Chain A
């Protein structure tokens, strides 16, 4: 690691203390999470701790981190102060306080960590974008509360610049890493999602996830059909869709653009001749079929029909795996950008 320059020493009062999904199990994380409405009070309290002048609290389901600027004689004291604050704030029993594993980062390490967090490199799903918005919201809360100053304002602005640069200059966001997001990507390449009507045949957990992903990205409507009609009604209500009796779903096939099938039937539920008729009624409008069931619900020969695109669970999983591998390949490039930016902003020597 290069020796810090004078410029770096000027930002040496920066500290980050936190825990995340890698260091701490969810049972402990949930005990240490700051509810959204408590964060303004927390940043004020930390700012007024002896020796501290600025603070930002980032609290998500995967991490709790305090970024602060201090004038204490050494980093160790600041780490201890912030640890004690967490123990006091959450009224932790001694055994829980003892079990709490925190990372303590100073100056360049703290900046590097924030740059990695904001770029999605420290996330559970590598390259995910939600964290960027969460960091922005955390910073805004602190800013509005008056808990930030020169050091943290500069640091967070730099972090947002780095985050954008990493996303724009690399393909860390490219590809899908989960079956649900693969389903959305495929649907987007077949249809305009805003016009997309979805049908769930069977109400398994994974089909529910896929449908929710599609709806969250703007799919127009959803029909749910299940052997248990009550379950279909329940799921349809949850997704603001329409429930359909299981012996009726075939009649509505021509009206939908995406079919997600996940029944527990031991045989093919959707057959080639059935879809051929559907395609004639659809006047060749393309149809995406996602078959999540094992054993499969859809006859593979359906993929031979023009305008029909069939993906089974293995195909979806293979795409998601490739997406993850692609993101991992991008990791080195992202780290390089972060190191360049750390040098540019004077945290480390070039």
Chain B
């Protein structure tokens, strides 16, 4: 097995272990912010970073041209954002919700496999920047989706008077609603920047890529507007943040194959 695959497999196992550890703790009713959770997330992040470095060496550029590579890059960005913004929430708990998503994304990437890139010409730094910023924007949307799930879980427990271990660890729903708004806003700003860069590109960009990127931008612009103007309830906007992520997730296949 090549080194890159070993690194990614190890990273995926670390995130899966974080999920198992958290679920066991919750099932036993003894959930609390465990160091093990943060250590496993940090270990997974380190292995992800090592994977991206070696994969970059292997293909001679930023590894963002196949679906598998993109999934890993988004997963890496999600964990990076989790460490950056997580302290604003309950760090390990956000990890509980982040780790399954990253595990699934990397599982799909491992199943797809990693092949060599067909070098189409000289590497354009702006194209690389455009792609990297767009993928970090997608990571912000992913984290918005995760926070949306946290909101919906907490909201359901409050409505149904189901007060148990997880309830005490989740942040207030009002804070979660604000976090969703900020993460979607951050993603939108980053995606706007990525699309702005595309105007400066001299390399021709295929239509499906641009069309889908703009559709994703439009969707999140609408979600942001609805949140900003309080047009609909936070519960519905949380659902939008969760379901909205399906579109960028699907668009990855279209964009990479266009």
Per-residue contact bits, chain A 284-296, to B (CB 8 Å; 1 contact, 0 not): 1110000000000
B234 interface residue per 8 A CB criterion: yes
In the bound complex, how far is the Cα of B161 from the Cα of A171, in angstroms? 20
A139 interface residue per 8 A CB criterion: no
Min CB gap B99→A, angstroms: 23
In the bound complex, how far is the Cα of B40 from the Cα of A307, in angstroms? 35
Per-residue contact bits, chain B 165-182, to A (CB 8 Å; 1 contact, 0 not): 101101011110000000
Contact B172 A189 (CB under 8 A): yes
- Chain B residues near A283 (CB-CB < 8 A): 230
Contact A189 B230 (CB under 8 A): no
Cβ < 8 Å to B, chain A residues 153-189: 171, 174-175, 185-186, 188-189
Find B173's partner among A286, A315, A319 (CB 8 Å cutoff).
Answer: A286
- Chain B residues near A318 (CB-CB < 8 A): 161
Contact A191 B230 (CB under 8 A): no
- Chain B residues near A171 (CB-CB < 8 A): 29-30, 32, 165
Closest to A188 in B: B172
A192 interface residue per 8 A CB criterion: yes
Contact B159 A309 (CB under 8 A): yes
B154 interface residue per 8 A CB criterion: yes
Find B174's partner among A185, A190, A322 (CB 8 Å cutoff).
Answer: A190
Contact B235 A307 (CB under 8 A): yes
Contact A189 B170 (CB under 8 A): yes
How many B residues, CB 8 Å from partner? 22
Contact B154 A189 (CB under 8 A): yes
In the bound complex, how far is the Cα of B230 from the Cα of A176, in angstroms? 33
Closest to A314 in B: B161
B39 interface residue per 8 A CB criterion: no
B163 interface residue per 8 A CB criterion: yes
Min CB gap B166→A, angstroms: 11
Contact B172 A191 (CB under 8 A): yes
Cβ < 8 Å to A, chain B residues 224-242: 230, 232-236
Per-residue contact bits, chain A 137-164, to B (CB 8 Å; 1 contact, 0 not): 0000000000000000000000000000
B158 interface residue per 8 A CB criterion: yes
Cβ < 8 Å to B, chain A residues 221-255: none
A36 interface residue per 8 A CB criterion: no
- Chain B residues near A284 (CB-CB < 8 A): 230, 232-234
Knowing A171-B30, A186-B158, A309-B159 touch, does A286 contact B168 (C-beta < 8 A)?
Answer: no
Q: 8 tightest A-B contacts by CB?
A: A283-B230, A306-B233, A284-B233, A309-B158, A319-B163, A315-B161, A191-B174, A189-B172
Using CB atoms and an 8 Å cutoff, list the residues of chain A in contact with chain B: 171, 174-175, 185-186, 188-192, 283-286, 303, 306-307, 309, 311, 315, 318-319, 322, 326
Using CB atoms and an 8 Å cutoff, list the residues of chain B in contact with chain A: 29-30, 32, 154, 158-159, 161, 163, 165, 167-168, 170, 172-175, 230, 232-236
A-B contact pairs, 5 of them (CB 8 A): A186-B158, A189-B158, A306-B233, A307-B234, A309-B158
Q: A175-B168, A192-B175, A307-B233 given; name 5 further pairs at CB < 8 Å.
A: A188-B172, A190-B173, A283-B230, A286-B234, A306-B236
